[in-house]
Structure 1
Amino acid sequence: MSRQLPSIELLQAFLTVAQTGNFGQAGEQLHLSQSAVSRQIAQLETRLQTRLFERHTRKIVLTDEGKSLVPVAEQVIGLLSDASHMLAAVGRSVSLRAHPTMAARWLIPRLSAFYRLHPEVTVSVDTLYHRFPDFAFESIDAMIAYGTATWPDFEALELWEEALIPVCSPQLLEGTTPEAVLKTARLVDASMDRLDWRRWEEYYPGSTGPDNAHLTFDTLESAIVAVKCGQGIALVDAVLTRDELRSGQLVRVHGGSIITGGRYTLVYPKRVKRSSGFCEFLDWLEQEVTEHNSLEG
């Protein structure tokens, strides 16, 4: 372009003078002297090669050209302001992928504590847990993965290792004993392969009956809901059902547990560790893990 575009400072000075109708008042708002504001307006008029104000003894009045420039200058400065806020927010957000049951039962209830410490950071969570993100092309900072995998190419923070315990509703125990319930009640499965109850029978042979019926789901959350409704006994993650166990909504029916080898792990590329927003989230999550381990110990 042959004509140099005016700077944002000049446009801001123009709008302030247009709103106040006075170089002195505009200078007060802009923290500039009256003469400095006058020079800025003169520079803008020279740059645009047109007069923007009629200068009278007691007041300054917009010319027709000045009136035409006002909405344009407002739009330019408004767009720049919006972009500035948007760019300031980039890096002050955390985008996570997580197992839906883990997200609903463990992560989301704890976010209130995180927001109290870091109200300026936005956290978003998706639950497409069956697909590990391509961090190079997806807008995902980290994934809370579940399983036995190790992560040599990524940074990883182990949250906890899964321990499954048998639980039922207190109503199911009325008039009987935990031992009797285990031998007769329906066994609620949290996966279609019924692997957990097969493992249980290997660890604790004879604790269940020879003819227990099964109720099978494809998610842990569904199994927990079914058990709370009195449908039977389920093997559940002790961490994810801690609130129901403490409140008495669920009751443990055997002292044994199964360590499956599955772990909940925060996995993320090394580059995001220094990102503003994520580094605060990571520090907070490490503290949550430390407190959890101390309570377990």
Structure 2
Amino acid sequence: MISLKQLQVFSSIARHGNLGLAAEELFLSKGALSQALAELERQLGQPVFDRVHPRLKLNDQGRQLQPLAEEILSRITDIEHLFDEQGAPSGTLRLGASQTIGNYLLPKLLAQQPELQAKVCITNTHNLCDMLLRFELDMALIEGENFHPALITQDWLADEMLVVAHPDHPLADKKTLSLVQLAHHDWVLREPQSGNREQFDRELAPQIGALGQRLELNTLESVMLAVEQGLGLAFVSRRAVNDRLLSGRLVIINVNTHLSRILKLVWHKQKYHSALLRRFIALCQQQEEDKGPFGKSKA
């Protein structure tokens, strides 16, 4: 009979790809993990990993087993907390977030559900979608586009996007500009495959034309700090830059174009929604109801 321990071992190895990290997560020795995995594969009658040293890579059988194992483990957690006195589901969620969301929205969300324990990974949309495909995350909150049919995407919040600069930038005192008037100026950009960069390349760059020097940075905070040093223009969310605008460290470059995007919730279509995950998704959806188009209260 397949045991809970065997499924836990399989699930952890499937997410981490090696015995060492799985052993740390489960507080077991590598030998104990190897034994549990070998017994699982013996009972199944076939291997669930390809051994590609030093990693263990899911094969076709393993990919079929993974969502079922994840669901069983999540359902067991639900049962364990079914009769908690507090009445609210508890446990730990593995969440992913793009940088604007992870730095400026997610902390406020988590503060509204203090009983929730979360392990949060903040990285770009491309990386988050890859992690969801491998069941390394329960869900992600993203700024870019999901192109994977195995993932379900739900529109969440509207986000206003701005072109910003240092107050001494040559364009800072212009009332209204067209995008083509931003040509030949220097830019500080996020890395390719980030949602921010994808939108810039898709919607702004073709209309601007020739760009000046381009500095690429892989964190939103480093982009804004670089702009504060006068290194160029940047394309960022109002949610992220608002404090700097209020303090006068950065200013908006008014372009005669409405720039926005939709933030999204995304999860694997085979992901079982535990009580804890359902509660968190409902909390996210409540933000949508309580806020106006760009995160401002409707009142």
Question: Structure 1 length normalisation: TM-score?
Answer: 0.51
Q: In structure 2, give the amino acid aligned to 1:157.
A: Q
Q: Deviation per CA, 1:185-222, whole angstroms, max 9, x where unpaired?
A: 532222369873785354357xxxx7733333344432
Which residue is equivalent to 2:145?
A: 148
Residue pair 1:191, 1:217 contacting (<8 A) in 2 also: yes
Quick one: structure 1 residues 266 and 149, their matched pair in 2 at CA, closer, same or farther if it must change by over 3 Å?
closer
Structure with max Cα Rg: 1
Q: In structure 2, give the amino acid aligned to 1:105.
A: Y
Which residue is equivalent to 1:168?
A: 165
The 2-side partners of 1:152 and 1:293 are apart by 30
The 2-side partners of 1:198 and 1:146 are apart by 14
The 2-side partners of 1:271 and 1:197 are apart by 32
Q: In structure 2, give the amino acid aligned to 1:280.
A: R
Which residue is equivalent to 1:241?
A: 241
Which residue is equivalent to 1:126?
A: 121
Which residue is equivalent to 1:200?
A: 204
Q: Deviation per CA, 1:253-297, whole angstroms, max 9, x where unpaired?
A: 123447587753333546543x23222211111111233344568
SS of the counterpart of 2:115? coil
Quick one: structure 1 residues 246 and 258, their matched pair in 2 at CA, closer, same or farther if it must change by over 3 Å?
same
Shift, 1:235, TM fit = 1.4
Q: In structure 2, give the amino acid aligned to 1:213.
A: Q
Question: Structure 2 length normalisation: TM-score?
Answer: 0.51
Q: 1:67-86 alignment to 2 at 5 Å?
A: none
Shift, 1:96, TM fit = 0.5
Quick one: structure 1 residues 237 and 151, their matched pair in 2 at CA, closer, same or farther if it must change by over 3 Å?
same
Q: Deviation per CA, 1:87-123, whole angstroms, max 9, x where unpaired?
A: 54985332202224431232124422x1xxx332212
Which residue is equivalent to 1:216?
A: 216
Which residue is equivalent to 1:53?
A: none
Shift, 1:152, TM fit = 5.5
Q: How many residues align?
A: 202
Shift, 1:223, TM fit = 1.6
Q: 1:1-297 alignment to 2 at 5 Å?
A: 87-88=80-81, 91-112=90-111, 114=112, 118-127=113-122, 129=124, 130-131=127-128, 132-133=130-131, 138=136, 140-149=137-146, 153-160=150-157, 164-172=161-169, 177=174, 182=182, 186-191=186-191, 196=200, 199-200=203-204, 202-203=206-207, 212-257=212-257, 263-269=263-269, 272-273=272-273, 275-294=274-293
The CA RMSD measured in Å over matched residues stands at 4.2
Identical positions, percent: 19
Residue pair 1:164, 1:257 contacting (<8 A) in 2 also: no
Quick one: structure 1 residues 155 and 216, their matched pair in 2 at CA, closer, same or farther if it must change by over 3 Å?
closer
Quick one: structure 1 residues 121 and 213, their matched pair in 2 at CA, closer, same or farther if it must change by over 3 Å?
closer
Quick one: structure 1 residues 272 and 248, their matched pair in 2 at CA, closer, same or farther if it must change by over 3 Å?
farther
Quick one: structure 1 residues 120 and 110, their matched pair in 2 at CA, closer, same or farther if it must change by over 3 Å?
closer
SS of the counterpart of 1:287? helix
The 2-side partners of 1:223 and 1:167 are apart by 11
Shift, 1:143, TM fit = 1.8
**Higher mean C-alpha deviation, range 241-250 or range 171-180:** 171-180
Could you tell me which runs of 5 or more consecutive residues in structure 1 were left unpaired when the two chains were aligned: 1-83
Shift, 1:125, TM fit = 0.6
SS of the counterpart of 2:156? strand
Q: In structure 1, give the amino acid aligned to 2:144.
A: G
SS of the counterpart of 1:231? coil
Shift, 1:241, TM fit = 2.7
Which residue is equivalent to 1:74?
A: none
Could you tell me which runs of 5 or more consecutive residues in structure 2 were left unpaired when the two chains were aligned: 1-76
Shift, 1:134, TM fit = 5.2
Q: In structure 1, give the amino acid aligned to 2:254.
A: H
SS of the counterpart of 1:148? coil
Which residue is equivalent to 1:4?
A: none
